[in-house]
Amino acid sequence: MNQSNTIKEIPELERPYEKCERRGAASLSDEELLAVLLRTGTRGENALALARRILYHAGETGILGIHQFSMERLTAIKGIGRVKAIQISCISELAKRLSKAAYQETLCFSDPGTIARYYMEDLRHGKQEQMKLLMLNTKSRLIGETDISKGTVNASLITPRELFIEALQKSAVYIIIIHNHPSGDPTPSRDDLLITKRIFDAGSLIGIELLDHIIIGNNRYMSFREEGMLLERI
């Protein structure tokens, strides 16, 4: 297929719009789906060729790379202006929200698996570690969540004080902390163990119980609660 062809110059059976109409969106490749959403290409390059170049830009490995693009990085790609950068950013955010919505009804804060699945798309694509604090009431219902740290989740940088200030302001009875490992491996580091112990001990003193610390990897997770590690002297 000639990259400079417009979509209308591509044989009808190969055009993404017509293919979707005949066979459904599931029949489209990642490149074709993105091309449909972009609608147009650039001078000398059709929408399919542009979509292919975006998906494999700078070593990204296809559709998952969409989550890694900032607006600045998108507009640095030849042929991507402000409007297309906004479109792609919205596609990424929509995918995350759809994934969360799919698990919302099954979310149970006494079940680490449902928590991990609910926050998986928010956290697993991050290139930096990010920690969230979930605050619960006496009925174990969520009354607030906030980002505590973004960058390096380090035991010397994250103190129980900042977590419990947030929790006390919300009148929380229980808390859960959740963070990602950009490596994709959710195995806890020494810092993870130290942070968990400090927060657990501090919570025991002031009457706010740490229910769990969940680490998100690439479609995997590790729960301190499931592993029985909250009851151990770490």
Average pLDDT over residues 118-143: 90
pLDDT category, 22, cuts 50, 70, 90? confident
Residues 6+ apart with CB under 8 A from 194: 155, 234
Amino acid at 25: A
Q: Residue 156's pLDDT is what? A: 46
**89 has pLDDT over 70:** yes
Query: Greater confidence, 226 or 79?
Result: 226
> β-pairing, 209-216 with 142-151?
unpaired
Q: Which architecture does CATH list for 106-231? A: 3-Layer(aba) Sandwich (3.40)
DSSP class of 149: E
Checking if the pLDDT of 41 tops 90, the result is: no
Whole-angstrom distance, CA of residue 78 vs CA of residue 64 = 20
Both tokens of residue 66? 């969409």
For the question of whether the overall pTM of this predicted structure is more than 0.85, the answer is: no
φ, ψ for residue 127, nearest 5 deg:
-95, -5
Query: To the nearest whole number, what is the mean pLDDT of the chain?
Result: 84
Tokens 């042929």, residue?
A: 79
- What's the order of all strands across the beta sheet hosting 142-151? 142-151, 129-136, 174-180, 209-216, 221-223
Q: What's the pLDDT tens digit per position in 160-197?
A: 888 899 999 999 999 999 999 999 999 999 989 999 99
Structure tokens at 34: 């993105």
pLDDT at 226: 95
Pair 120, 99: CB distance under 8 Å = yes
Q: In the numeric block, which tokens belong to residue 26?
A: 């599931």
